Amino acid sequence: ERDLTGKSEKLRRIVELMADHLDEPLSAVQLAKSAGLSVRQVERLFLRHLTVTPGRYYMRLRLERARELLRQTNMPILDVAIATGFTSHSYFAQSYRLQFGRPPSEERRTTY
């Protein structure tokens, strides 16, 4: 996660809200409304300061948390997926593999 020091207060608020809602991800509209911005303004804010779309940033936060849970707990992989807001095990596994280059099951095997 990038350091948000000196960045827009609205950006910080949105990122904190994302981090607080990893298990039930908020929609783009909900995030924008929380900062008093339009969805497009939020997209521009993220691209300008973080060089990534809000959706991609949120996904990365969720997957980083999933990786943490896989490494530090013995929660079943399906429970990890649910705890990080994924409703489909296969979508979680696919997203995880794209982000980290290996499936969640392999992450678990190399940790324990």
Q: Which domains are seen in the chain, by residue range?
A: 9-58 (1.10.10.60), 60-111 (1.10.10.60)
pLDDT greater than 70 at residue 25: yes
| pTM (predicted TM-score) | 0.88
pLDDT greater than 70 at residue 48: yes
What average pLDDT does this structure show over 11-39? Answer: 96
- 54 or 6: which leads in pLDDT: 54
Render pLDDT for 57-111 as a digit per residue (tens, 0 to 9).
999 999 999 999 999 999 999 999 999 999 999 999 999 999 999 999 998 877 6
Half-sphere exposure of residue 33: CA atoms within 13 angstroms, side-chain side: 5
* Alpha-helical segments (H) within 1-112: 9-20, 28-34, 39-50, 54-72, 77-83, 89-100, 104-111
The per-residue pLDDT of the chain, averaged, comes to: 92
